[in-house]
Structure 1
Amino acid sequence: TVPGFAGELRPYQERGVSWLSFLGRLGLGACLADDMGLGKTAQLIATVLVDAVPGPTLVVSPVSVLGNWARELERFAPGLSVMVHHGRDRHADSDDEGTAGFAERAGGHDVVLTTYSLVARDLEHLTAVPWTRVVLDEAQQVKNPGTAQAKAIAQIRAPRRVALTGTPVENRLAELWSLMQVLNPGLLGTMSSFKDRFARPIERDHDEAATATLKAVTGPFVLRRLKTDRSIIDDLPDKVEQTDRCPLTREQATLYQAVVDELLEGAAATDGITRRGLVLAGIAKLKQVCNHPAHLLRDGSVLANRSGKLNRVEELLDEIVDAGDKALLFTQFTGWGELLVPHLARRYGAEPLWLHGGVPRARRDELVAAFDDASGPQLFLLSLKAGGTGLNLTAASHVVHLDRWWNPAVEDQATDRAYRIGQRRTVLVHKLVSSGTIEERIDEMITNKRALAERVVGAGEAWVTELSTDELRAVISLRLGDAA
């Protein structure tokens, strides 16, 4: 047991706390990369209690999980003093608060919570504090070393540095270099030498010797356990994933073909950055057609019986709602979510919850609490970027991916809002794909990519813009016989 910790750690979590404390005492940075849902937050809180040293701990997180950190600290370590540095009134205790005043105020707390966006904005204040530990939650936020927030994070000094992430590499191995540069500067050399020695041989040639060397170099500083390992956790229920292939309606097929023709004509007639922008815009239009004609047309028309995918969503939700279960529905398009909310409200007699990037933090916390309430709404619609990380939504036993993203790690993160510790029922995951369309090609690519995920996963959709017009035609063309 950990003194002051109001909870019980599982054996693998106790080992994680010991590992974090050990590296911390040596002054070495640590990346706790446990699978999503294995309780990284609880392990970090226990580490603050076990490895108690004078001075405050700074926790930097996305704004979407700031409230979750405050709740978990109150739940697991009520004896710790916590300060939330966020919002317009974050300096309100003293309107003209200088760096010394802020340092004194922060130093009077055990833990200070803030967000990535504020680190760059309030860097002068944050660097004035003698932090004993800096924690980066959802640390993939600093995967690009050139961003203002990554540069600002690098300037905050602390003898103990911890990164928490379920996906240490999302797109490119260069992200691992960026993470290690924050935790243990210089460990992997310069970015240029890292690319020559590791990134290119591994990503391009699948060089096994380079892969083994990289794992050997970074292994002591990265701890990753998986939910699928029954030696780690043996009481998590199953996760059943299935891909639902939905035929296009005739209206969808006609629209889809029109967009394909327009896109191919434009791609053949342009080049450079103009062509890349045109291709990306065309891909987005094709995905919108796959969701619903009204999503592309934005004409305010009724939704019923015009989309094979929406028909399947309604079939799924009819069963889920009738059974009294709860479901998460993820989409990458805020515009599609805005259309679905009133449609689903009319069909099921209750408005679904809707979380997107424009929802303030306080309201996000209210939405999560409402969904967690047994008598609360059964349906929670979330945008993939705003709701795909950091939230604990185990009240749901169903997850529906309304449209597909290029990166399997992003979809897995979203699914794991429900499939995590605290889940007591089998989680059913439905991934909707419009048959014969670009979505089917994305699904094939994701399947292939997942097998290579330990090495590298693909770099979003930018690759599509570099295809020749003939190659592009092969990816986006509608396969005959797949419309309803």
Structure 2
Amino acid sequence: MFRLNVTTLCAIKWDCVIVDEAHRLKNEKSQLYKACYQIKTRRRYGLTGTIMQNKYIELFNVFDWAAPGCLGPREHFLEYYGEPLKQGQRISAPERFVRIAEERKQHLVKVLGRHLLRRTKQETIGHLMRGKADNVVFCKMSDLQIQAYRRLLRSPDFQLLISKDLPCTCGSHLTRVECCHRTAPDGVIWSYLHRENPDGCECCPLCIVLPCLIKLQQVSNHLELIKPSSKDDPEKQKKDEQFASAALGEDAVLVGGLQQDESFMGMSDAQHCGKMRALEKLLETWLSKADKVLLFSCSVKMLDILDRFLVRKAYSFCRLDGSTPMGVRQTLVDSFNNSPSKQVFLISTRAGGLGLNLVSANRVVIFDPNWNPAQDLQAQDRSFRYGQRRHVTVYRLLAAGSIEELVYSRQIYKQQLFNIGVNGTSEKRYFEGVQDSKLYKGELFGISNLFRDLLETVFTSEIIENHEERLTGIHRTSSEQCAKQGLLGEHAVSSKLEIEDDIENSELSALSQEQDGIEDEIESPNDTQSCSESQYEHILKDAGVLYAHRNEEVVNLGGAVQKHKRPKTKEQICSMNDPKTLIPSFVVDEHQRLATPSTLKILSENGQEDDTVGQKRKYEEIFKLEEMDETTKWFLSGSSLCPTQSIDCCKAVFK
């Protein structure tokens, strides 16, 4: 509507312009951005819950619209902030890069603070919420899925992409894509896309990347998705049948042939889908306790399969996707929230990820991950929002060893970029890859990584384990050096040793959990309807789950340099008189990065912060609360007085 009337609206000199969902202005090349930028006004306000979703350039574009020039030229922003922050997050980054990234991060947060007013859910209504557990579950694919996935990786289309940067077989010094291997005439996907241009196009072979990714995602979700649909045109049906034949091979007879099974029983069968087996077990447990479930998927075809699955299991459910009329959507929401008989809400992630209030549900399942982490987080917030009176449990289902693991790893990377640039946190360095870098593609970026065979491993588990091993070694080395230099003092040395003991104990605990196959789900003890941890462990084991963890333990959400909320009671402040917290601030910051919450466990079983991390954070709140300088911090850190007494003394001496 706005774009249709942009000429008329831009001719008016507005006193104030307010843009809702301002993150949609992330692309400076979009028509929406260009239209909004032309508005004549003295004041611009943008409202959004996800100011940055994928890249730092998105952050720049939103701020440059709201306050033109506040971050300087686009190229300067990327060179001065974006690139150093990304390079400093590389796992093998030199100490100099890490130090520069820390300096630029603090400067960026300070600059953004002049134009950014941010209020998180935890800061505003956290005391009214019962908490959320964001579980990531890695499900073993069925044997047929694994075989189909492997056949795809060996097919001509995929081999063209996987080997494109290898030396050409003709003996030249060029790569295959630069010399003799730009096309794949015997590939099903390539032949279909170039049926009118058999010599290929200017983009070959990159033109088949997206279709190939979609096929891998379909196999990871359900084998019926790769079969031809009777709703498509005959030419596309023929292509899909050829592709299904290449993927399923002689196993096609086991899944009802090469044509999509339109029968009710065939579409709802969970036998050959690893994630549906896990979903089946979880739903049986939850719905037997009168829990309500939100079930999200990015694919409408997958929603159709889940629809039949829910009917087969005799569950009462609602459904909302892109085809649902706008006038009907609120009726569906009200029906689900007000009717105890409605057990499951089947929702398209894109169509239902924004604006819906579904607080009657306390369980959320994200069946397939999105490349954009904000999409999945917004989906969770349909239940975890104001008005929710129960503890919310989220399950993200991933097919272990598939493209979905790489999608989730990129979600972690993007969430970390956001936390560093906007929140000013110190994030764990898991990856060698650097976004938009041709030199440092690492394990995350580049076409060769997208189509890598990970079927024999749990990629994410290995990344996290490698980080923990590296973290333990670096932490001990750094702590020994600090102790030799006399920087820590008596209390800090004892704290250092206790932290190391915690690391060792947590590693032994993690090792025993990995031998069992999964990590336990931790429910709020206040939730009277929750299952015991051993029961959930048994459920997930039976469903073939290989590995699981909490997303909040992987993405470090602590250590922000921005303003914290005020402690509520004097008792909370007094409880922070602990030797572990009496460390000079610059030493605490360094060790907070090294001894991260995955080893110290940032959340306890009731969803509250662990004492070791929580008390340190509360103590740091005092510094910002009273606007104290470094001298005051040194006085507090070396004082034996109660923190409240120290504060009064500091006010008298330094103010």
**Where does residue 261 of structure 1 map in the other structure?**
154
Amino acid corresponding to residue 281 of structure 2 in structure 1:
E
Deviation at 1:389, TM superposition (A): 2.3
User: In the alignment, which residue of structure 2 is the partner of 1:224?
Assistant: 118
Counterpart of 2:227 in structure 1 is: 297
Distance 2:388 2:125 in 1: 16
- Picking from 269, 274, 286, the partner of 1:308 is 274
- Alpha-carbon distance in 2 for matches of 1:479, 1:270: 30
Q: Name the structure 2 match of 1:45.
A: none
2:353 is matched with which residue: 383, 388, 391? Answer: 388
Partner of 1:211: 105
Partners of 1:293 and 1:275 in 2: CA distance = 26
8 Å CA contact 1:143–1:175 kept in 2: the answer is yes
2:384 is aligned, of 419, 444, 455, to 419
- What is the aligned residue count? 362
C-alpha distance after superposition, 1:173-221 (max 9, x if no partner): 1112211122112212222232233222323345222222222222021
| SS, match of residue 454 in structure 1 | helix
Partner of 2:568: none
Alignment of 1:277-426 (within 5 A): 277-298=207-228, 299-301=259-261, 302=266, 303-304=268-269, 305-350=271-316, 352-375=317-340, 377-426=342-391
Which runs of no fewer than 5 residues in structure 1 stay unpaired?
1-117
| Residue in structure 1 matched with residue 60 of structure 2 by the alignment | 177
Q: Compute the displacement of 1:448 (Å).
A: 5.1
Aligned AA (1:198): Y
How far did 1:402 drift? 0.3
Q: Distance between the aligned counterparts of 1:212 and 1:224, measured in 2?
A: 17
Give 1 or 2: higher strand fraction.
1
1:250 and 2:143 equivalent? yes
| Distance of 2:396 and 2:386 partners within structure 1 | 22
Moved more, 246-255 or 154-163: 154-163
The residue aligned with 2:613 is none
Contact kept, 8 Å, 2:315 with 2:343, in 1: the verdict is no
TM superposition shift of 1:274:
2.7
User: Residues of 2 paired with 1:425 and 1:232: CA distance?
Assistant: 14
1:328 match: secondary structure: strand
Q: 1:472 to 1:146 in 2, by over 3 A?
A: closer
Displacement, 1:426?
0.5
The residue aligned with 2:83 is 200
Q: Which among 393, 399, 409 is matched to residue 434 of structure 1? A: 399
- Whole-Å Cα distance in 1 between the matches of residues 445 and 119 of structure 2? 37
**CA distance in structure 1 between the partners assigned to 2:395 and 2:313 by the alignment:** 20
2:455 maps to 1:478 = yes
Return the letter of the residue paired with 2:160. Answer: G
Match of 1:270 among 182, 185, 197: 182
Q: Percent identity?
A: 30
Give 1:140 shift: 0.8
SS in 2 for 1:455: helix
Q: Deviations over 1:344-370 (max 9, x none)?
A: 1232253x3322233332233333232
- Alpha-carbon distance in 1 for matches of 2:110, 2:137: 40
Equivalent residue, structure 1, for 2:19: 136
| Residue of 129, 138, 145 corresponding to 1:236 | 129
After superposing the two structures, state which structure 1 stretch, 204-213 or 128-137, moved more: 128-137
Deviations 1:406-462 (A, max 9, x none): 3433321211111111111000101111122232343344345544432369979x9
CA distance in 1, matches of 2:314, 2:450: 40
Which residue pairs with 2:649 in the alignment? none
Structure 1 distance, partners of 2:3, 2:395, is 39
SS at match of 1:221: coil
Distance 1:390 1:283, change over 3 A: same
What CA distance in whole angstroms lies between the structure 1 residues aligned with 2:137 and 2:79? 42
> Closer, same or farther in 2 for the Cα pair 1:196/1:447, shift >3 Å?
closer
8 Å CA contact 1:198–1:210 kept in 2: the answer is: yes
Tell me how far apart the structure 1 counterparts of residues 345 and 315 of structure 2 sit (CA, whole Å).
14
Distance in 2 (alpha carbons) for counterparts of 1:374 and 1:322: 16
Match of 1:443 among 400, 405, 408: 408
Give the match's secondary structure for 1:417. Answer: coil
Superposed counterparts of 1:113-152, under 5 Å: 118-127=1-10, 131-152=14-35
Structure 2 SS opposite 1:353: strand
Give the 3 Å change call, closer, same or farther, for CA 173–468 of structure 1 in structure 2. Answer: closer
Gaps of 5+ in 2: 90-100, 164-180, 184-201, 229-258, 423-433, 459-516, 518-542, 545-655
Q: Distance in 2 between matches of 1:345 and 1:221?
A: 50
Q: 1:189 to 1:246 in 2, by over 3 A?
A: same
Question: What is the Cα deviation at residue 293 of structure 1?
Answer: 0.7
Query: Residues 330 and 414 of structure 1 are in contact (CA less than 8 Å); yes or no, is this contact kept in structure 2?
Result: yes
1:353/1:380 contact within 8 Å kept: yes
CA distance in 1, matches of 2:17, 2:314: 46
Q: How does 1:77-92 map to 2 (within 5 A)?
A: none
**Greater relative CO (CA pairs within 8 A, separation 6+):** 1
Structure 2 counterpart of 1:467, one-letter code: G
TM-fit CA distance, 1:468: 5.6
Task: Report SS of the residue matched to 2:329.
Answer: helix
Matched residue type, 2:108: L
In 2, distance between residues paired with 1:170 and 1:434?
Answer: 23
Per-residue CA deviations over 1:134-177 (Å, capped at 9, x if unaligned) read: 22222111111211111111223344422111111111111122
Cα distance, 1:371–1:273 mapped onto 2, change above 3 Å: farther
Most deviating of 247-256 and 425-434? 247-256
Provide the secondary structure at the position in 2 that maps to 1:240.
Answer: strand
- How far apart are the structure 1 equivalents of 2:13 and 2:450? 54
Q: Is the 8 A contact 1:170 1:409 kept in 2?
A: yes
Greater CA radius of gyration, 1 or 2?
2
How high is the TM-score relative to the length of structure 2? 0.51
3-state SS of 2:296 partner: strand
Amino acid in structure 1 at the alignment position of 2:147 = T
Task: Give the residue type in structure 2 aligned to 1:248.
Answer: M
**C-alpha contact (below 8 Å) 2:53/2:414 kept by paired residues:** no
